Amino acid sequence: MIYVDGIPIQDETLSSSSQGSSLLLDVMSHPAIISASESFNNLEERNVSFGERDSESSTKDRYVYVFQSEFATVNPALVDFVGTDEATTCVGLVIRNRKSGMTSIAHMDSPEIVDLGLSQMLSLVLEDKDAELDVHLIGGYEDVDIKNADGGDYAKPEGYSYPLCCKLVDTFQKRRENFHIQTLFILGHNTKLDAQGNTCPIFNGCLVNTSTGSIFPASFDRTSRCPDEIVRRIRVSSSCEDPSWKGKLLDTYDTKTDRFIIAPCRWTMRLIEYVWEINQLSDEEILTNCSTSPSAEGRDFVDNSRRVWEYLLKYPEWSKTFPMRQPRVFERTADGHWTKC
């Protein structure tokens, strides 16, 4: 069940003024949601970088970062901030238990991952069935015109952001948990025009203070998208061919021990051959062939893609990355960084 401004959204409260109006569009037009979006839009984007962190500093903030298709549930006693970015047609989803402060964050990239993904996120957030959960959605933009969209079919209209956002909100409403929508900075609320007149997201990432529940727009760099950036990016792609991960979010962070445990994943020679071919393409061709939103990607999209491919070409045998099929484990150091065990 969805709550907005403390009031449950009941079927009879939904707008019926226009035929085909969806739950998503009705919630987005709620005055409290519009006000929250305007406030979020006025926040300064936080740029997270560990490149200049002072190991001698008395303040050592502890971060957890999730990539596309990943999720992490964190204990505020162990983690100060959680975040994600690089979301264009994807959505960053945050669910926080008001009482315990337990916070789960996910980088959702498909409607097909929503049902099981939400269950994964809630498994460690819920303390009881009546827990009050604050929810934030950031990311996704108007990559298609949704003014005349029919919210009853997640496969239409063409595009990626709308079907994903529609599925998320509809699933919240159908579940028995109490979801208090605090931020819905998606679609039209998160859309601007670039210099060429193309639509693109205003923000594509967020950062959450686990102690207070405050959320901010954020971007991360190579130093803060850690640990094990390249291998985790590869795992996103290779998991698509692994039926055991179908419909699930990738679980890389261990809540109880505050460690990252990167489970083994395999890649095939077919993938290596594909990578060799696509690595020959120009930057423009890579954007066209590898992105759901070529005109909206960050400046480091192609560079990140090439670094992943170069790693695969250097280590075509997955067993070199996961010797004896063992996971890659990372522990937090005293200064908040990560070290491989």
Q: For residue range 195-244, list pLDDT tens digits in order.
A: 889 999 999 999 999 999 999 999 999 999 999 999 999 999 887 777 88
Band of pLDDT at residue 52, cut at 50, 70 and 90: low
Band of pLDDT at residue 53, cut at 50, 70 and 90: low
- Work out the average pLDDT over 127-146: 88
For the segment 74-83, what is each residue's pLDDT rounded down to a tens digit?
999 999 999 9
pLDDT at residue 286 tops 50: yes
DSSP letter assigned to residue 21: -
For the segment 116-129, what is each residue's pLDDT rounded down to a tens digit?
999 999 999 998 87
**According to the model, what pLDDT value does residue 11 have?**
60
For the segment 144-178, what is each residue's pLDDT rounded down to a tens digit?
755 444 444 444 446 899 999 999 999 999 999 99
Domain assignment present for residue 235? The answer is no
Q: Which residue has the higher pLDDT, 257 or 127?
A: 257
Domain assignment present for residue 253? The answer is no
pLDDT at residue 19 tops 50: no
Domain assignment present for residue 192? The answer is yes
Confirm if 168 and 137 have CB atoms less than 8 A apart.
yes
- Rounded percentage of the chain residues whose pLDDT exceeds 90: 81
Domain assignment present for residue 264? The answer is no
pLDDT at residue 183 tops 80: yes
Domain assignment present for residue 209? The answer is yes
- Work out the average pLDDT over 324-335: 96
CATH of the domain at 139: 3.30.1330.200
- List the Cα angle 89/90/92 in 5-degree steps: 140
As for how many domains the chain has, the answer is 1
For 278-340, the three-class secondary structure string (H helix, E strand, C coil) is HCCCCHHHHHHHHCCCCCCCCCCHHHHHHHHHHHHHHCCCHHHHCHHHCCEEEEECCCCCEEE
**According to the model, what pLDDT value does residue 129 have?**
79
**According to the model, what pLDDT value does residue 189 have?**
97
> Distance between CA 140 and CA 154 in Å, rounded?
15
**According to the model, what pLDDT value does residue 149 have?**
47
**According to the model, what pLDDT value does residue 56 have?**
45
Quickly count helices (H) and strands (E) in the chain: 9, 19
pLDDT at residue 99 tops 90: yes
* E strand map for 78-214: 81-84, 91-97, 103-108, 132-138, 178-185, 191-193, 199-201, 206-209
> Distance between CA 10 and CA 44 in Å, rounded?
35
> Distance between CA 83 and CA 257 in Å, rounded?
19
Domain assignment present for residue 215? The answer is yes
Please choose, from the candidates 332, 249, 334, 250, the residue with its C-alpha nearest in 3D space to the C-alpha of residue 75.
332
**According to the model, what pLDDT value does residue 246 have?**
87
Domain limits at 91? 2-227
**According to the model, what pLDDT value does residue 240 have?**
76
Domain assignment present for residue 314? The answer is no
pLDDT at residue 188 tops 50: yes
Domain assignment present for residue 326? The answer is no
Band of pLDDT at residue 29, cut at 50, 70 and 90: very high
pLDDT at residue 43 tops 90: yes
